Amino acid sequence: MKAVLYARVSSEKQAEKDLSIPAQLKALRKHAESKGYDVVRDYVDEAESARTAHRPAFQEMIAASKNRVKQFDVILVWKLSRFARNREDSIMYKSLLRKHGVQLVSINEQIDDTPTGKLFEGMIEVMDEFYSANLAQDTKRGMRESASRGYFSGGTPPIGYLIDRSEKGANGKGRFVLDENYSGVIRRIFDMALSGKGAKEITKSLNSEGLKNNRGKAWNKNGVLYILGNELYTGTLIWGRKDKSQQPIRREDNHPAIISMDQFAAVRRLVGSKSPLRAGQDRLRRITYYRR
């Protein structure tokens, strides 16, 4: 039988405390050898959550299972939680695999096709989903606690700032500090906006000078509008805007400001005036400033 191996970790931290990708693959390969399977490919998703179906290697594997010319007969996983932690997704994808004659095998969970085996499998899936939801809730609680104390809450810091990790919050993150390579560019963008230039003209000015953003790419209008609508540059941290269940956290004077509150407010007023910035007002209104 032809087999493929699927391994996944959701984060670097999990890779350290849980079974790493190399360790998973080693165990899977050993199991395949004991069963006489011919391993034709490894599929690996690193730093990907099982709660989303947008895992690139996973999706490639599922697509391959539907190929008219059968490429493999069995998928080996360390545990079912590596395959999915959402029971709805798990049922859907396992049904699809069965339709195409592909078997899913968890090498650490002895599951068969008997009624008892199916019951056991369902219980595992329910527990995995519970664990995932509980972990997400705990993570969110930790992020909120860190944000309430002024710490960075994850993701990519906005251009103009770096993260000082010498002092870490409960979530292991640090605090915002100025990125001297770009903070001056942020000030110029606000100055140009306050002088009456629109986002399109500001973008053109930056690119004509050969300036690049922090990803080494040319500036674009949306990037400029994002900056002009981001209150973080006033030294204010806002977290939890999208959470309708509780009030967002707002901390003024949380970190070094690049512009003043007055400058930010003036730009906001220009959005509602006859200024060229008004053309981007819908984009500005949609910006959620910092994160979540």
Are residues 156 and 102 part of one domain? no
pLDDT, residue 66, reads 93
Active-site residue identified among 10, 65, 132, 153 = 10
Three-state DSSP at 166 gives coil
Please name the helix (run of DSSP H) or strand (run of DSSP E) that holds residue 266, with its range, or none.
helix 261-271
**10 counts as catalytic:** yes
Number of domains, the chain:
2
pLDDT, residue 292, reads 46
pLDDT, residue 288, reads 40
Do residues 83 and 5 touch, judged by C-beta distance below 8 A?
Answer: no
- Mean pLDDT for all residues in the chain: 81
Are residues 102 and 199 part of one domain? no
Domain with residue 253: its CATH number is 3.90.1750.20
Q: What pLDDT, in 10s, does the model give residues 211-247?
A: 999 889 999 999 999 999 999 999 998 877 777 677 7
Please name the helix (run of DSSP H) or strand (run of DSSP E) that holds residue 13, with its range, or none.
helix 12-17
Residue with tokens 């790419």: 217
Do residues 225 and 203 touch, judged by C-beta distance below 8 A?
Answer: no
pLDDT, residue 223, reads 92
pLDDT, residue 102, reads 94
Predicted TM-score (pTM) of the model is 0.54
Q: 290 pLDDT exceeds 80?
A: no
Q: Which residue type occupies 228?
A: L
Are residues 213 and 168 part of one domain? yes
Do residues 151 and 173 touch, judged by C-beta distance below 8 A?
Answer: yes
Per the structure, the complete domain to which residue 121 belongs is given by 2-132
Do residues 78 and 107 touch, judged by C-beta distance below 8 A?
Answer: yes
Q: 171 pLDDT exceeds 80?
A: no
